[in-house]
């Protein structure tokens, strides 16, 4: 929290990165950490269950699936969709493909191109 950044250690040979945290993200983390402290968790995991133990992968999967159903999504939601949503959001904000590649930890640019290729707004800056 002091450094206003989050280190992301990637799985599957992805590139690990350190991301700056924005004000809204810091506020949300501070609020969660206060709530987490009241729960008196047993370990050091950031996300814990009502049982005060580390939130399991399976539980996170179920929660996201349930939120997707509650939102009326046409497809069953899963955690990896959050990663894709981040890539598309960065592209929609006009982020450069290489920046998105670094942010998502892709080693191969071809895995990143899908986010920018579907965004017609990417051409708008050509005529300014």
The residue extents of the domains of the chain are 1-55, 68-128
Alpha helices in 21-121 (DSSP H): 23-39, 57-70, 80-92, 97-104, 113-117
Give me the pLDDT at residue 62, please.
96
**Burial tier of 101 (Cβ tally within 10 Å: 0-12, 13-18, 19+):** buried
Give me the pLDDT at residue 1, please.
78
For residues 102 and 17, the answer to whether their CB atoms sit within 8 Å is yes
Tens of pLDDT along 53-89?
999 999 999 999 999 999 999 999 999 999 899 999 9
What is the distance between the alpha carbons of residues 84 and 114, in angstroms, rounded to a whole number? 10
118-127 average pLDDT score:
66
Give me the pLDDT at residue 96, please.
87
Tell me the C-alpha to C-alpha distance, in Å, between residue 74 and each of 69, 71, 103: 8, 9, 28
Residue 120 has pLDDT above 90, yes or no: no
Report the mean per-residue pLDDT for the chain: 89
Can you give the pTM of this predicted structure?
A: 0.73
Give me the pLDDT at residue 38, please.
95
């Amino acid at each position: 929290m002091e450094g206003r950044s989050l280190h992301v250690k990637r799985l599957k040979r992805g590139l690990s990165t350190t991301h700056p945290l924005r004000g809204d993200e810091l506020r949300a983390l501070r609020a969660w950490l206060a709530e987490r402290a009241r729960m008196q968790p047993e370990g050091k995991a950031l996300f814990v269950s009502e049982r005060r133990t580390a939130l399991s992968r399976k539980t996170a999967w179920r929660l996201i699936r349930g939120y997707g159903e509650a939102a009326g999504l046409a497809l069953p939601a899963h955690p990896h969709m959050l990663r894709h949503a981040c890539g598309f959001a960065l592209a929609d904000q006009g982020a450069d493909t290489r920046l998105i590649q670094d942010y998502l930890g892709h080693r191969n640019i071809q895995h990143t191109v899908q986010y920018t290729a579907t965004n017609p707004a990417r051409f708008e800056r050509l005529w300014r």
